[in-house]
Amino acid sequence: MRVTFRILRYDPERDANPHFESYPLELDDRAVVLDGLVQIKDFADSALTFRRSCRQAICGSCAMRVNDREHLTCSTQLSEVVRDGTVVVEPLANLPVIKDLAVDMEQFWRKYRAIMPFLIPDRAKPAPEKEYRMANKEARHLQQFGGCIQCGACYSSCPIAATDEEYLGPAALAKAYRFAGDPRDSARRERLKIVSDERGIWRCHTVFNCTEVCPKGVEPTYAIQQLKKLTIRRRFGLPV
Amino acid sequence: MLRHDVVIVGAGLAGLRAAVTLGDLPGVDVAIISKLHPLRSHSGAAEGGINAALTPDDRWEDHMYDTVKGSDYVSDQDAVEVMCREAPAEVYWLEHAGTLFNRADDGTLAIRNFGGAGRPRTAFVADITGHALLHTLYEQTVARGVKVYEEWFVTELVVENEQVKGLVALDVMTGELHQVAAKAVIMATGGYGRVYHGRTTNAWSSTGDGMAAAYRAGVPLADMEFVQFHPTTLKSNGVLLTEGNRGEGGYLLNSLGERFMSKYTPTKMELGPRDMVSRAEIIEINEGRGVDGCVLLDIRHLGEAKIMERLPGTRELSMHFAGVDPVYEPIPVRPGQHYAMGGVRTDLNGVTVVKGLYAAGECACVSVHGANRLGANSLLDTLIFGRRSAEHAYEYVKNVPPPEASESYLQREEDRTRAMLGREGTESIAQIRNEMGLEMADNMGVFRTPEQMQHAVSAIRELKERVKDAPVQDKGRIFNTDLTGALEIENMLELAEVISVGALARTESRGAHSRLDFPDRDDVNWLKHTLAFRGEGGPRLEYGPVTITRFQPEERKY
């Protein structure tokens, strides 16, 4: 397949502004977007900068914007995204660019840390000698949200994150639900308090972008609505 | 100069487990240095599960026996015993820390079958177990506020008088080199799969940096010739499909539609150990019963519901990378490099010959896997020995004064990287990397002849020369991945040489090391560990004894 990669390049040591550069490539019909980037780095310009590691859609390194939509470049077939023989690759939005396609994710991780992203069992009760019992159905339900790879695709696609740097964003909120919904967790009240303000769940406009672009089927929109439901039930004094 | 009591290099499962352990202990200043954000580590790509004797009918002694037999008897049985004894408590610890394991009907942990095991003993999270454990452990380091230097690339260890004093690392974001003083350093940098570039399940980042740094610092690498080839990898890009596919009942078929494993491991069928299944596949393919250079993995009979509950990743990967939906079609697979049984030689507390230097996980050789690792023992290995290394290091640093090391190490690394940036010539790092991968795949693969191995040794030495003329094109300081690529290729070529030289010297077939000229195991001469020390002009090989406690070597049949 003949395809032209148009890549948004930016070298902070040389460029005042980002600019597009084009690379005509010949790639296998089953090639993924990352194959094109690797070919450019290997044989055209080894300064081209991007993150990639597992190339099997699990490490979360290589999320980028491809033809105006977020994708993991390692698992996105070129044939799915190519338009008029061209693929436009840009860094994730809503995060500062370091160089070319690599963004500084500190803002994203700060929000990850803000939601207490760890299980808090009830310290007042002794832990069981073996495992906590849990229904497989419950475990499977939470696995959907635990399956988040923190790639940042949702954060880049979110129109709220675009305008409000303090919005917790879809990934962190989905992570919050993963723990708030865990029967082993004892901190649900505190978790709901963290997420239920104007920087949290109530700021979500239910646009569904995050759910549409998520490469792992996490559905942050669903998680955010569950957190809202739990918050309202608590407010009415109903069991949560 | 930055200072910490303990610095952990690498933030996969072994490194994070060490960090959590030290995070719970009072009065010790610990930091992680990793060339990736911890959640990008390759531990996250592990799929099938983690072994532990959890069920009432299972015993750690049985787990130990299966592991020792799987290793082709060249594992150290004291280490295997430690791992298998401590396994159940470790799995329950993970569950208490939040891992969302699949469950049985009574709410206890679900258990699946895995290769080379006498009974089902693999706990799992769908087929993303590594991902689930990596995230759990990272969460626990966040809970403990462990300092992480993200995207810092360790270029060299600081070792004086056979004692570690710290390390030098490149902050990739700024391009600045830093010397970090440490009383103890735990290497947890994972495997070297990219030595088999193009034919490995491993990530781009699995370049064996920690092994190479320890080797340069005078620590022997053990048993590097034992390279695991996983039987079910995709032809297109080498991605792994979990052994769980066969654990859940999947078949391996040849072009005649036969379940050919009946000829090779009749009592275990598709659940033979990986070395044997990979050999069987190559024989079938070489004898003309392959399908376009592959055999077929067939899970259709499991049905869509079970595939979606227990093997969703297999479906996703097959559809993305092979254009095959395994609910309706068998998947073409072939053996691919997967795991390093060899690595930095340690004892069962991660201790190396250099004082204060530890290693754990895939970068170490304790040795619990010997010549062939059993599936679902690697996650266990990282956790048990990550924790034990940290516990030992904690005691060690109590009695060590703050290290005083000269800053000449920093200067040396600055000179080295500057020289790389100034290098001239017409060679290309990418080209050399591709050639190295092909050379190792073709000549250091599942079956080995002396001619092939000799070819590999010569070719790798030639590449080591050529890389000196491969310039780093990116001259910038900020986020220079061209420079880190140059550091990685030097590490990989060093390891490729050790693998090849070690393999050529071992004149027997054992586990994953299978020679056509010496097809049998030779316990009289070769029931021993290879120890490769870095010498002038290449590795110098010595040999060390194998610890045998409970199980005497027997013929290995399944």
The CATH number that applies at residue A58 is 3.10.20.30
pLDDT over 90 (residue B320):
no
**Same-domain pairing of A50 and A95:** yes
Q: Which of A32, A42, A134 sits opposite B430 (nearest CB)?
A: A42
> Are residues A79 and A191 both part of a single domain?
no
B residues 248-267 lying closer than 8 A (beta carbon) to A = none
Measured CA distances, B93 to A123, A188, B242 (Å): 15, 22, 24
Please give the full DSSP string across B9-75, using - where no structure is assigned: E--SHHHHHHHHHHHTSTT--EEEEESS-GGGSGGGG--S-EE---STT--HHHHHHHHHHHTTT-S
Taking an 8 Å cut-off on Cβ atoms, the answer to whether A60 and B40 are in contact is: yes
Q: Are residues A144 and A93 in the same domain?
A: no
Is the pLDDT reported for residue B8 higher than 90? Answer: yes
For B244-274, write each residue's pLDDT tens digit: 999 999 999 999 999 999 999 999 999 999 9
Cα(A156)–Cα(A70) distance, rounded to whole angstroms?
A: 7
> Under an 8 A CB cutoff, do B142 and A131 touch?
no
Q: Which of A72, A103, A134 is the last residue of a domain?
A: A103
**In the predicted model, what is the mean pLDDT of residues A89-110?**
98
CB of B93 within 8 Å of a chain A CB? The answer is: no
pLDDT interval class at B217 (50, 70, 90): very high
Secondary-structure class of domain B408-527 per CATH = mainly alpha
Rounded to a whole number of angstroms, the distance from the CA of A61 to the nearest CA of chain B is 6
Same domain, A77 and A27: yes
Query: pLDDT digit string (tens) for A188-221?
Result: 999 999 999 899 999 999 999 999 999 999 999 9
| Complex ipTM value | 0.98
pLDDT, tens digit (0-9, with 9 covering 90-100), for A45-78: 999 999 999 999 999 999 999 999 999 999 999 9
Q: How far apart are CA A81 and CA A64, in angstroms?
A: 13
A98 and A121 together in one domain: no
Under 8 Å between Cβ of A4 and A22: yes
* Domain-embedded: residue A25: yes
Cβ burial of B228 (10 Å; 0-12, 13-18, 19+) is buried
Q: What gap in Å lies between CA B393 and CA A104, rounded to an integer? A: 33
CATH classification of the domain holding A148: 1.10.1060.10
Quote the CATH superfamily of domain B2-48+83-95+130-227+339-398.
Answer: FAD/NAD(P)-binding domain (3.50.50.60)
Cα–Cα dist B218/A43, whole Å: 36
Residue A84 C-alpha, separation from nearest chain B C-alpha, in angstroms: 22
When pLDDT is cut at 50, 70 and 90, the band that residue B161 belongs to is very high
Query: Which among A97, A122, A136 is the top mutation candidate for probing chain B, defined by the most B β-carbons within 10 Å of its own β-carbon?
Result: A136
Q: Which amino acid is at A121?
A: P
Indicate which residues of B carry an active-site annotation: 230, 246
User: Angle between the B77-96 and B60-70 helix axes, to the nearest 10 degrees?
Assistant: 120
Domain spans of chain B, in order of start: 2-48+83-95+130-227+339-398, 233-335, 408-527
Residue B463: predicted pLDDT? 98
E strand map for B376-524: none
Closest CA to A92 of A72, A118, A115, A117: A72
User: Does A240 map to a domain?
Assistant: no
Q: Are residues A206 and A125 in the same domain?
A: yes
Chain A residue with the nearest C-alpha to that of B476: A13
A118 and A76 together in one domain: no
Inter-chain contact A139–B430, Cβ cutoff 8 Å? Answer: no
Q: Do A70 and A156 fall within a single domain?
A: no
User: What total number of domains does chain A contain?
Assistant: 2
Do the first three CATH levels of B2-48+83-95+130-227+339-398 and B233-335 match, i.e. the same topology? no
The candidate with the shortest Cα–Cα distance to B159, out of B142, B179, B140, is B179
Which residues 45-74 of B have a C-beta within 8 angstroms of A?
A: 45
Q: Are residues A115 and A59 in the same domain?
A: no
What distance in Å separates residue A181's CA from the closest CA in chain B? 12
A68 is a domain residue:
yes
Q: Are A202 and A123 found together in one domain?
A: yes
- Give the domain range for residue A112: 106-235
Tokens standing for residue B66: 């299966």
How far is Cα B292 from Cα B285, in angstroms, rounded to an integer? 9
Q: Do B203 and A131 touch (CB under 8 A)?
A: no
Task: Kindly tell me if the per-residue pLDDT of B407 is higher than 90.
Answer: no
C-beta atoms of B45 and A56 within 8 A: yes
**Same domain flag for A67 and A143:** no
Partner A contacted by B100 (CB < 8 A): yes
Question: Average pLDDT of A130-135?
Answer: 97
Give the pLDDT band of residue B237 (cuts 50, 70, 90): confident
Q: At residue B405, does pLDDT exceed 90?
A: no
Band (pLDDT 50/70/90 cuts) for residue B205 is very high
- Domain B233-335 maps to which CATH number in 3.40.50.300, 3.90.700.10, 3.20.20.410, 3.10.310.30? 3.90.700.10
Q: Is residue A226 part of a domain?
A: yes
Query: What stretches of B243-316 adopt beta strand conformation (E)?
Result: 251-253, 295-298
A117 and A225 assigned to the same domain: yes
